[in-house]
Structure 1
């Protein structure tokens, strides 16, 4: 089993947990409350951020040539982190032996806790060890400080790794809407996939034959890169476990939610990763057909899969993912990226 503890006194700070892939919605802000969003991780799991996080922060204008690329950024930001790598994300209910210290709670939050510095301390020795986040519109989370915490036990944890077939059976995906509105996970997952799709296609329009995929992606793509031309033949298709081999130019493939592995596709097909819970729903959910109908229904006549108002992918996540892809330096993609910069990366006008 895997347990994290305090580096100073070696006291345990978590229950046994299993490693999973870092979700794209790890630090998502969606709406403005009331209340925080659901936790970024399921109970009994942890994920590791391999990128720098937290202070010190470097302003883009002050960076030397090559420094931004070394930190994983290929397009301008106001500032980027040059902090330690390896910050660990856990679900709030999995922490043990750590408490919030009021003296460390900043005043930048609205209705809860938020901040870039630790606000939780080890009960045993008082060392600041973690950041608790639960402010309005934010994902509930606890981030363990990699400099103050570490593994004190290393093992498989309570959740065994599932193969692709078991994932299909045991993890059915998440519908794009909840209680009549958009599900925040979909806003994050589609935003990330859109950034990867633009990078793979160079920002050119593409065809999407699948009705449900088109309903999710086509409106935003049309606003970003324009409508599909009559002579354009490149297509985006679904590919993955349980589906036929990809026969398009780009394949929307699943990311394994535990290992982070991407479903393989053979060149020249270019992969476009999508979070498992969204991919699984798109790949296998089909609207029920009317009883007794023998005449096929045209795709455009099918009932709407989504809520009745326009889908807006998460603009902050879209810009962040795009800025970390080297292809953003291409003029057409850089123009798409620069359209969002005046909005301080908090949202994007698609």
Structure 2
């Protein structure tokens, strides 16, 4: 049974990864509905929170139906991280997560995200500053190391556990790999089987089918799996994995009606949370994923990303429903 503080996550939880410009409340809502056990906000800049940046503050929005949920922050300055942890604490999520894994240049160049893997003493100081500043359980998400020659994740986990971190999610790539190549779970499994480690260890990277989820659970012994890109436009991945683990059976893929229903709910949530103009605009990045695998869908997709009218979008959904009514997704 996986537990973080007083949070009971069940026997083998499935976590929705925090993804920039993806893991907002509308997206989280459709993932929760389909079985995500623990979710996180998009990562939030500690400096942005302190400056009261509108976009950073908006990312603090969480809702009771999402629980348990964690708010994730990043930064490279102890004082800023401590103050951000206090701000997060006041919003009352279920946990505070620290991002020590983001590989993108704009984050790394600020000495944050995966850059902290090059200075474990700094990682300890930043994490201690957060732990001292919040009453919430503190967890971290990180990677195997900076590059292949400095894969220091074993030391990271031991030092983080020793200062009070209550769970760790590990992406099976180094920072230099970005998202290229295959995720290497061997070190994740080695950490989980280290008798000194007693906190939950969650594996992340390349889990995109129920069969792979079960295989990796059995092979590496992790306490749960974090899913990121495979859930974009396909929130059913959570229910499919749970069903397969429980029964050994593969669920049929979502019908056209289910695809359009989730896409519509996502769009409606986006408009309610961001306003009509921005909600429609930011939803455009998701249509291709929701409609993936449908033959000859390019025309519909092009029209969806070209209109600013909710009514027009609904008309296009109706056309898609009629055209593909007798088809099962590929």
Task: Establish whether TM, by shorter chain, passes 0.5.
Answer: no
Higher strand share: 1
Which TM-score applies when normalising by structure 2? 0.26
Higher helix share: 2
Structure number with higher relative contact order (C-alpha < 8 Å, ≥ 6 residues apart): 1
